[in-house]
Structure 1
Amino acid sequence: MPNAAMRSTFERIIINQFTALHCAQARQMLDWSFEQLSQKSRVSVPAIQRFEAGEPIRDVTRLALAYCLEAEGLVFFPGFAPGRGGNIRGTTPDPTGREDFAQLE
């Protein structure tokens, strides 16, 4: 599978499995405020709040949140609370290389 196709596949998986509940639970596990997650992920506080409230956000924004939280050692599986992944890195690709990164909310 070519690199771009693999990245796209991983992105689709993350977009579909990283939920608003995961985001809220991860913030709680890390004892982070909306502002701390915003600063570390480069996603605006209002976008994080909208996401956690169940409102839609752009795919690149969801990827940026997942990428940031996975960098802290968290892993996400559908239907389960986030877990600690030890020194395992997640599969979320760094969203800064995406064409739509400038549209980050």
Structure 2
Amino acid sequence: MHTSAMRSTFERIVINQFTPLHCAQAREMLGWSLQDLSLHSRASASAIQRFEAGEQMRDVTRLAIAYALEAEGLVFFPGFAPSRGSNIRGSTPAPFDRKDVALIE
């Protein structure tokens, strides 16, 4: 189990390194529509669309999207397209027990 300091570090990494392009590329790799990602992440399709367009969004929403994609075995590195991890489910902590989870867009 992660300590809050570790969790905070992981969250900051995701928030700063998971890009709108990663999101669009990952959806394409998985063959997911905006609605598919919305279902898996609990973020609205319009929020995902805004994120992919480069607009700002709440940290908890960005974490929820990254978590849903990493749960499918995708990994994200700055400057590279998403790839499938072998035996890796990603490092993004599940955002659903955060105090601000109700704010997922």
**C-alpha root-mean-square deviation of aligned residues, in Å?**
0.9
Hey, what does 1:94 align to over in structure 2? 94
Name the aligned partner's letter for residue 97 of structure 1: D
Deviation beyond 2 Å, 4+ runs, structure 1: none
Hey, what does 2:54 align to over in structure 1? 54
Give unmatched runs, 5+ long, in structure 1: none
Instruction: Tell which deviates more after alignment, 18-27 or 86-95.
Output: 86-95
Name the aligned partner's letter for residue 4 of structure 1: S
Instruction: Report the TM-score, using the length of structure 2 for normalisation.
Output: 0.97
Hey, what does 1:15 align to over in structure 2? 15
Matched, 1:5 2:5: yes
Hey, what does 2:77 align to over in structure 1? 77
1:52 and 1:75 map into 2 onto residues whose CA distance is: 17
Tell me the CA shift for residue 97 of structure 1: 1.0
Tell me the CA shift for residue 86 of structure 1: 2.1
Paired positions, count = 104
Query: Among the aligned pairs, what percent are the same residue?
Result: 72
2:51 and 2:86 map into 1 onto residues whose CA distance is: 26
